Each structure stands twice: as C-alpha cells, then as structure tokens.
Amino acid sequence: MFERILLSVDGSPDSEKAVRLTAELARLHGSRVLVVHGRDVPFVALNPNPVPPLVEGWEEEEEAQQLVDGAVSRLQGAGVEVRGQVLPGLGHVEYKILQAAEADGVELIVLGSRGMSRVEEVLIGSVSHKVIHMAKCPVLLVR
C-alpha cells in the first residue's frame, strides 16, 4: 500500500512515537523510508543580526545529523530499508518536507504532532499543521 514513506523527525516525544510506528508500517507494507529533519530557526533568530551559536534553541548541523542518524539506525535495526537526509538550509521546514516528499515520490508522510511549545505554535504555526494542509499525499500525525 505504501511503497515509500517519508518520516520527519524533530526529537520530540511525539516524533519518537512516529519512528516506532513508521517501523511497524514499513515492515508491514515492505516500504522504503526516507527520514528527514529540517533545521529549525528559533523565532528570535529571524533578527538579521543574531549570533547563531548564542541564540537559545539554535540547532547546529551536527545535532541535526545525529537526530536523523539515530532514527535511521532504529529503523535499520527493525529491518527497514531506510536512508536519511538533513534538509538543506534553515527555516520554512514544512516546505522542505513537502519538497522532499514530492521529489522522492512518497505515498505517506509521518510526523509527530508537537515539536514546539504552545507559544511558538501560536506565533508561527506548527509544521505538522502546515504539512497536513499542503501535502499531496496522506499524512499520518502521531501523538
């Protein structure tokens, strides 16, 4: 049913649940999985003069890669054919997820429902909410 699945990870508890569920779905359907992570830009980092390493919540490239590698390792351990990718650049994570899904021809996008605080979600909107509304394929939101 789902030959290709895109799993977006962000390190949140809901994202960890999404990894486990994706492993089960991929084994059940014999799916290939693409694990992605888009580097987040904290709201305060949109200031044109921030010093990135000093901005609270700023995520380094190495941290992003470790997050993807961890999910890839868990899926491989479950016997799933998987590859990982840190999505290039910063900001607008939802668009990067959707572009990766389209480029890879995925038939299902899986992501956790919460990766940010309630305040951040109110100010800038959640990635999951935006992906649900713009995706051209089914989206499975995991809580």
Hey, what are 128's tokens?
């999951």
According to CATH, the superfamily of the domain at 4-142 is HUPs (3.40.50.620)
Q: Which of 114, 141, 125 is nearest to 11 (CA)?
A: 114
Query: What is the arrangement of strands in the sheet containing 32-38, beginning at the earlier edge strand?
Result: 81-87, 32-38, 4-8, 108-112, 139-142
Query: b/e map of 64-77 (b: 16 or more CB within 10 Å)?
Result: beebbebbbebbee
pLDDT, residue 92, reads: 86
pLDDT, residue 126, reads: 82
pLDDT, residue 89, reads: 80
Whole-angstrom Cα distance, residue 131 to residue 50?
28
Tens digit of each residue's pLDDT (9 = 90 or more) over 95-137: 999 999 999 999 999 999 875 545 444 444 588 889 999 999 9
Tens digit of each residue's pLDDT (9 = 90 or more) over 18-35: 999 999 999 999 999 999
* Domain definitions of the chain by residue range: 4-142
